[in-house]
Each structure stands twice: as structure tokens, then as C-alpha cells.
């Protein structure tokens, strides 16, 4: 799995590209929460649930159904901030589903159960180039952790920054053309 730092990269980059007006602060915060929420499934380890089980790590909470359900719940809560459900649902779906997608590009684990509960089959991306993060804090704060952060910088942050800055430039260009 990528680190928590890189899971939040998707909602942050989407907000940078779309702008503060399109993604107000409450929606950004909800997106950040939903981008890391799937890893709450590590609690299953303490409950004795095997990693490879449907309710194990990278199982149901990394599925597309979970992403849609979490996005719907978040969208309903964000109505209190007068954020349209359609806007918040798509942004939150992207934030939540990006978690499993990023995990599928990592070099470790058993894959992602994208289609749970319809299938417990797990999938990896065709290429795994993001170094998998150590699960323990002590191993994270080591040379291994630095390697992981370097990998995430190259394969997650740099491409997302390029995409969001391109969207920002495109948005500015369109505004200039409309004047």
C-alpha cells in the first residue's frame, strides 16, 4: 500500500486542478478522509481476520462498491454545507476509489478485491511500480520508508502534480478566452 501521504494526493490534486470554488474546503476534507478510510480495514488483523479474506486487508473496503457507498454517505452529510450531491458524489467517489487503484500499483500484498461482494478475486494493475509501504511504524522510519517515499514521489505525486497544474493552466486559459 502507498503511505497515507500519497493516498491524500488524489483529492488534493483534484482540488488544485478544479479550484477552490469547485471543491470547497469541506468537500476537500471529506475527500481526504475517504481517500485513507479503506485502510481502516487493518483492524481486521487484530480481530483475527486473514489478510486474504473478503473482510481482510485490501478486501471489501477497497472495493468499488465501498467507494460508491462511502461517497454517497459523505455526499449526504455535505448537504449541510450546501454542496450539491452530484458534485460531491463524483469527487468523493474518485477520492475513495483512488485508494484501491493506487494500492493495485504497489509491489506487495495480495491484490485488491475491486468487485467485492460479487467476487473476492483480487487484482493488481498490469504494472506494479509503487514500492509497497511497510505496515509497521518502526520499519517505515528506516531506509525502507525513504525508498517508499521516493517511489511515491516519482509515481504518484509528480504525475498528479503535472495533471493538476495542466488543469489549472487550462482553466485559466478558458477564463481568459471568456473575457
Alpha-carbon distance of 22 to 159, in angstroms, equals 21
In this predicted model, what pLDDT tens digit does every residue of 115-136 receive, in sequence order?
Answer: 999 999 999 999 999 999 877 7
In this predicted model, what pLDDT tens digit does every residue of 42-81 receive, in sequence order?
Answer: 899 889 998 889 999 999 999 999 999 999 999 999 999 9
pLDDT of residue 28: 98
The neighbouring-strand residues paired with 123 are 112
Q: State the pLDDT confidence band at 174, using cuts at 50, 70 and 90.
A: confident
Q: State the pLDDT confidence band at 3, using cuts at 50, 70 and 90.
A: confident
Domain that holds residue 12: 4-178
pLDDT of residue 70: 98
pLDDT of residue 176: 66
pLDDT of residue 138: 75
C-alpha cell recorded at residue 177? 478566452
Percent of the chain with pLDDT over 90: 76
pLDDT of residue 113: 97
Based on the number of CB atoms within 10 Å of its own CB, is 161 exposed (0-12), middle (13-18) or buried (19 or more)? middle
pLDDT of residue 36: 97
Look over the chain and give the mean of its residue pLDDT values, rounded to a whole number. Answer: 92
Per the structure, the count of domains in the chain is 1
C-alpha cell recorded at residue 15? 482540488
Q: Are 58 and 110 in contact (CB under 8 A)?
A: yes
Helical residues (DSSP H) of 79-157, grouped into ranges:
85-104, 137-140, 143-152
What average pLDDT score do residues 153-170 get?
Answer: 94
Amino acid at each position: 500500500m502507498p503511505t497515507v501521504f500519497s493516498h491524500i494526493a488524489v483529492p488534493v490534486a483534484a482540488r488544485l486542478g478544479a479550484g477552490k470554488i469547485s471543491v470547497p474546503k469541506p468537500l476537500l476534507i471529506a475527500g481526504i478522509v475517504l481517500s485513507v478510510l479503506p485502510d481502516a480495514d487493518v483492524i481486521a488483523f487484530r480481530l483475527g481476520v486473514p489478510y486474504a479474506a473478503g473482510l481482510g486487508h485490501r478486501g471489501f473496503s477497497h472495493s468499488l462498491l465501498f467507494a460508491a457507498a462511502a461517497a454517497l454517505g459523505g455526499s449526504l452529510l455535505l448537504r449541510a454545507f450546501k454542496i450539491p450531491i452530484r458534485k460531491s458524489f463524483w469527487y468523493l467517489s474518485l477520492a475513495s476509489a483512488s485508494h484501491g487503484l493506487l494500492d493495485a500499483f504497489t509491489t506487495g500484498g495480495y491484490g485488491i478485491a475491486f468487485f467485492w461482494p460479487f467476487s473476492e478475486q483480487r487484482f493488481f494493475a498490469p504494472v506494479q511500480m509503487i514500492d509497497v509501504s511497510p505496515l509497521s511504524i518502526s520499519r517505515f522510519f528506516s531506509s525502507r520508508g525513504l525508498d517508499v517515499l521516493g517511489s511515491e514521489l516519482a509515481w504518484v505525486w509528480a504525475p498528479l502534480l503535472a495533471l493538476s497544474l495542466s488543469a489549472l493552466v487550462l482553466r485559466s486559459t478558458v477564463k481568459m478566452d471568456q473575457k
